[in-house]
Amino acid sequence: MFSKIAIIAKAHAPNIDVIVNQACKWLLAKGIEVNVEEQFGYDVDAQVGRKPTKELLSGSEMAIVFGGDGTLIAIAQNAVKFSVPILGVNAGSLGFLTDITLDELYDALAEILDGKFKLDERIALRGQIISPNMQRRKLLAVNDFVINKSSIARMIEIRTYINDVFVTKYRGDGLIISTPTGSTAYSLAAGGPVLHPGSGVIVLSPICPHTLTVRPIVVPDDVTVKVRLYSKGQEVNLTIDGQEAIHLLDGDELVVRKARKRFKLIQSLRTDYYEILRKKLFWGRNIGQE
């Protein structure tokens, strides 16, 4: 089913060279073309190709990511761009997206290569900054767009519109515009709801709002969200998936819509999203229980 596979790994994960080398050998034995990131210099078979990270997914039919969710999210934009599905293998800590363990890897890979897997297609968000101070930039987020003030600044104001209809003025530390995938990331920490990844929605979660009655709002994913910043000269950043930060100025606008392409995850047929929530969020366990 997959004949060209890219492998990406968290650089300093324990025993990562050994893990990647074993995976490459296993895949090569199956007659699969394998490419890894050239800059990490893994001790891999000579048959394994080496490419720059930005080029690694071009031409690949699947990517295996060893690490935590941060490692996976870091390459997600390229994965969406090239429509490459990702198998996340947990060699990190939390792992909502990297739910396959190292112990399960080869049984899971055997099933996947035999066509026995689920393809979980999730929405991504495309954004555009409209500003007199910079060229219009096209942005892509799998988790979220976060507008956030610096730690020493006063409150900022963010005026929010849905399909050009005014909704409210958020006054506080900032605003998170999140996909269902990102609902278990920063949005959750800000008091946002946990959303099933298949939900066709976008969630807006204010960060430390000045007004206590202001709460997160969930809207359909076919709307256009527009936010306008009033910062009074304070330092404010737009962060995309926690990977890239762009400085915003007073009066700048961010327009967010659902992206045309989807974020694709390969999952075992045994994967249960609710089991992942129970395990990762410790639902149903007493505090201090092992």
CB distance 89 to 102 below 8 Å: yes
Give the whole-angstrom CA distance, residue 21 versus residue 44: 5
237 and 171 Cβ atoms separated by less than 8 Å: no
Task: Evaluate whether 92 touches 105 at the Cβ level (below 8 Å).
Answer: no
Structure tokens given for 119: 């393809």
CA separation (Å) from 129 to 25, 228, 237? 45, 10, 12
Q: Is 69 a catalytic residue?
A: yes
Catalytic residue selected from 17, 43, 45, 69: 69
Q: How many CA atoms lie within 13 A of 45 on its CB side?
A: 16
Q: What is the DSSP letter of 258?
A: E
Enclosing H/E stretch for 77? helix 69-81
The span from the first CA to the last CA of the chain, in angstroms, equals: 41
What element of type H or E holds 139?
Answer: strand 137-141
Give the residue from 121, 100, 125, 94 showing the smallest Cα distance to 112.
Answer: 100
- Return the active site residues: 69
